[in-house]
């Protein structure tokens, strides 16, 4: 018996094929959109003026671009101007906020229009006074008040004025005011001379003295290349500034290379945080979640800061170092990005 086959309608066949292709295309597009939730959104970051802010800044640029955002070159701003720019929407975010140190620099109403995220580097913004280890051991130095002793003053008197020299900060810096306030409060001007030349020159003098086997007392902060040139716990030790502490924020625990634990630093240990405009965050949940997720190690930030100093790197030349760190920590970074993508769904 002869069987007949009903011919397929060519138009219907073509329509089905096109529909399938469209569905596949839509699926691919949907997948792409999920991977790049920031596609089509332009972002304007700000960056702080100090060098250790640069690797932190480029980290967020790299990660936001992986989420599809069109990130503009970060604008370098001083602290008060950066917070004002964020509050007014001229900058979308700034990953270089140090708190509680920067609290007095916020414009009125800042917390109503902007958000400070949990620390990306907890208690990483440390400041304080250090002494070379041989002198610390010889003179049994544990705190700044030991510099009222005659034998200590004589050992640390580099200028011959009968006072211990403290290599500190130049006028105009916040630490210059902080050091002088400490000397005023505890009537230490007769015992300690605040050498307030340019910081690079001051640190170079302290470094030279220590390398020559001579005593040195100096101020520094982290994250910075200074912590790599004279390493706390190996070359120098953080010493106490007893009596200066007015709140628990100035008493730090677990500080590597400190003479005691906890240690009274004399300055509040600052958390490094992302500050961002609320309107931007509301419109960009993926970016907001990324700001919640990212955590960066102090030693890496300091290492990059050191390379910037040694090699005289431009900001743009730091970016490949950031890309290398991201590649080396891909599993962790992907967890941050996956959380950011999920927040945008």
> What pLDDT score was predicted for residue 239?
97
If residue 219 lies in a helix (H) or strand (E), which one and from where to where? Answer: strand 217-222
> What pLDDT score was predicted for residue 27?
55
Q: What is the number of other CB atoms lying within 10 angstroms of the CB of residue 7?
A: 6
Helix residue spans in the chain (DSSP H): 10-35, 53-66, 79-88, 110-113, 133-138, 150-155, 174-185, 199-211, 226-229, 278-283, 285-293, 298-311, 315-328, 330-343
> What pLDDT score was predicted for residue 132?
98
Length of the chain: 345
> What pLDDT score was predicted for residue 287?
98
> What pLDDT score was predicted for residue 318?
96
pTM given for the model? 0.73
> What pLDDT score was predicted for residue 310?
85
What are the tens digits of pLDDT across the range 240-293?
A: 987 665 555 577 778 889 999 989 888 877 899 999 999 999 999 999 999 999
Question: What values do phi and psi take at 296, rounded to 5?
Answer: -125, 140
| Lookup: tokens for 5 | 């086959």
> What pLDDT score was predicted for residue 309?
83
Residue located via tokens 């839509």: 26
> What pLDDT score was predicted for residue 94?
97
List 116's β-bridge partners, or say none: 275
Please identify every stretch of the chain with a pLDDT value under 50, giving residue numbers as ranges: 1-11, 16, 18, 20-22
> What pLDDT score was predicted for residue 178?
84
> What pLDDT score was predicted for residue 3?
40
């Amino acid at each position: 018996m002869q069987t007949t086959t009903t011919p397929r309608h060519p138009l219907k066949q073509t329509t089905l094929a096109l529909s399938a292709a469209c569905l596949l295309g839509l699926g691919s597009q949907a997948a792409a959109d999920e991977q790049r939730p920031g596609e089509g959104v332009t972002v304007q970051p700000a960056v702080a003026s100090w060098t250790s802010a640069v690797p932190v800044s480029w980290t967020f640029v790299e990660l936001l671009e992986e989420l599809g955002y069109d990130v503009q070159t970060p604008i370098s701003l001083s602290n008060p101007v950066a917070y004002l720019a964020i509050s007014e929407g001229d900058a979308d975010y700034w990953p270089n906020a140090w708190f509680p140190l920067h609290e007095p620099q916020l414009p009125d109403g800042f917390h109503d229009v902007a958000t400070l995220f949990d620390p990306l580097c907890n208690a990483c913004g440390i400041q304080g006074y250090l002494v070379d280890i041989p002198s610390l051991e010889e003179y049994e130095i544990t705190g700044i008040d030991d510099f009222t002793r005659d034998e200590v003053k004589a050992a640390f008197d580099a200028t011959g004025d009968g006072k211990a020299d403290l290599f500190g900060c130049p006028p105009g810096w916040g630490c210059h005011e902080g050091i002088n306030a400490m000397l005023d409060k505890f009537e230490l001007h007769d015992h300690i001379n605040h050498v307030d030349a340019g910081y690079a020159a001051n640190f170079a003098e302290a470094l030279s003295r220590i390398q020559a086997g001579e005593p040195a007392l100096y101020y520094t902060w982290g994250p910075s290349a200074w912590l790599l040139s004279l390493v706390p716990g190996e070359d120098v030790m953080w010493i106490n500034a007893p009596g200066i502490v007015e709140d628990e924020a100035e008493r730090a625990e677990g500080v590597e290379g400190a003479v005691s634990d906890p240690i009274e630093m004399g300055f509040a240990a600052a958390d490094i945080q992302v500050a961002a405009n609320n309107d931007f965050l509301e419109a960009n949940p993926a970016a907001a979640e990324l700001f919640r997720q990212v955590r960066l190690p102090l030693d890496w930030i300091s290492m990059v800061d050191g390379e910037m100093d040694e090699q005289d790197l431009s900001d743009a030349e730091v970016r490949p170092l950031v890309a290398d760190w991201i590649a080396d920590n891909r599993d962790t970074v992907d967890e941050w990005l996956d959380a950011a993508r999920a927040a945008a769904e």
